[in-house]
Structure 1
Amino acid sequence: MEPALDWLQITVLALIQGLTEFLPISSSGHLVLTPQIFGWPDQGLAFDVAVHIGTLTAVVIYFKKDVWLMTRDWSSSIITRQPTSNSRLAWWVIFATIPAIAFGLFLNNGVEEALRNPLIIAATTIGFGALLWWSDIKGQKVRDEYNLSFKDIMIIGFAQALALIPGTSRSGITITAALMIGLTPQAAARFSFLLSIPIIFGAGLIKLKDLIEGTLPVQWDAMIGGALISFISAYIVISIFLKWINKIGMAPFALYRFVLGALLIYLFI
């Protein structure tokens, strides 16, 4: 039987999902650390489904205009063979998603489960944090998400596949790769967030399938509350992050990852 969550657990865990899904700070590091601090059991599959729905809804609503234009122009370009900047961006999101799907299906979560060790997560949190900082310093920061080549997309796509390694951070590694190929921080973040839509949707579907096939009772207040809190927190994070990222850069997030990784080492070594 899945654990019954109280409202403190619901609020904290949903906030963690909403905040860490889009910030480049490693959600898995926080999910390992939180139960250790509070002595909580795993929140269960139903709650995972709920908070994924919340974060997916947040990113789709925030980018609703972009998603509509990309969908409209992509559909039209298939018929007319007349590409636009929005249809190309839609194709880039599709192509950049393929490596993560292929690796995920091939590995069947084996790598993720095998590497889900607090010290490994600590190492990847620190290591990929340093790479994020380096890419922010060395990147040319002159391009936007509409000026990408197929080679650029494959670099970002294969980088996203590395997020199967716990502690990497999906948003962190895709932003890192985008900065390395010359995107501005805001453009890197925008493309990373658009790229998250099919990934979160796919992960949510898999979890939902497992939930439907299961026989455990569902705590509906936890699901509804978790979805709402993760939606609100994720929407706020996306809004603030995109507004300020060109000004503040990636250094604060890299430093935060160093602290988080060091804390994990201290607690689990």
Structure 2
Amino acid sequence: MDILQAIALAVLQGLTEFLPISSSAHLILLPVIVGWEDQGLAFDVAVHVGTLTAVVFYYRKDLAVIITAWFGSLVGKGFNDEAKLAWYVGLGTISVGLVGISLSDAMQESLRSPLVIAAATILFALLLWWAEKRAKEQRVTVTFLDAVMVGLFQAIALIPGASRSGITITAGLLLGLKREYAAKFSFLLSIPVIALAGSLKVLELYQSDVAVIWSFMFIGATVSAIVAYLTIAWFLKLLDKVGMMPFVWYRLVLGVVLIGVFSGQA
């Protein structure tokens, strides 16, 4: 890996982690197009740290209120909306954790097939399209049922190409949440998910004897954090103006490109 590859992949990770366009589809396509070797586990850890830092910093004020309310609920101070939201974020994380643990290495590897990613990119783009068209956008609060359903949808995102943000926003729209709030809940859900995924990668890195190039780790974490923060801010402002359809069309085109690039290798 050289510095250009490190910056390009960090920008791509930061840009696609929170947009409903599938980071996995982009991260598998770019190295193939330009002929890069795999970036390695250590760099994956770095960009995960970057995107986690971005979403935590963006929602730092909300998180302070939510966490304070959650602790208050533990000591008998009642369950206000912020405390409930904290519990619902935890509830929505359970299913993806259970499914992730149950998947064998062989199953995970088979799901990383480029054609599987292409199919998922297209299929879940169509589902997002349907959700956008029938969205009622009536609510800005999450219920227990919302948390369960969005959490179940989030587990589907373990299929590369589904897009974690895309599938959770889809679920939120289908349940009647406003676009901006569906996106906010999706991003809050990403915090424990990215933290868990990053922790597993750190453990895997610790157990391996992979050499770590710290300069590239710093570049990856910093660039992905900055790009992810700007992407979250831009996306939330854009949603009310253009909705989800530009991302649907982009995903459909991307899926077709992936099929075109990889169909001869199947």
CA contact (8 A) 1:112 1:166 kept: no
Gaps (5+ residues) in structure 1? none
Query: Which one of the candidate residues 44, 49, 56 is aligned to 1:53?
Result: 49
CA RMSD of aligned residues (A): 1.0
2:128 to 122, 132, 135: 132
CA-CA distance at 1:149 after TM superposition? 2.1
Q: Is residue 183 of structure 2 the alignment partner of residue 206 of structure 1? A: no
Report the alpha carbon displacement of residue 246 of structure 1 after superposing the two structures with TM. Answer: 1.6
Question: Counterparts of 1:1-269 in structure 2 under 5 Å?
Answer: 5-144=1-140, 147-269=141-263
Residues paired across the two proteins, number: 263
Q: Aligned partners of 1:219 and 1:105: how far apart in 2?
A: 29
TM-score by length of 1: 0.96
Distance 2:256 2:248 in 1: 12
- 1:136-175 CA-to-partner distances (Å, cap 9, x unmatched) read 110101111xx22222211100000001111100000000
Give the 4+ runs in structure 1 shifted more than 4 A: none
Does the Cα contact within 8 Å between 1:14 and 1:229 map onto a contact in 2?
A: yes
Per-residue CA deviations over 1:179-232 (Å, capped at 9, x if unaligned) read: 000011100100000000000000111101111122121111110001010000
Amino acid across the alignment from 1:6: D
Question: What SS class does the counterpart of residue 164 from structure 1 fall into?
Answer: coil
Shift of 1:266: 0.8
1:120: Cα distance to partner?
Answer: 1.2
Distance 1:187 1:124 in 2: 25
The alignment-based identity, stated in percent, is 51
**1:110–1:141 Cα change, 3 Å:** farther
Distance across 2 between alignment mates of 1:182 and 1:66:
22
| Whole-Å separation in 2 of the counterparts to 1:142 and 1:246 | 14
Task: After TM superposition, give the deviation of residue 109 of structure 1 in Å.
Answer: 4.6
The SS at the match of 2:139 is coil
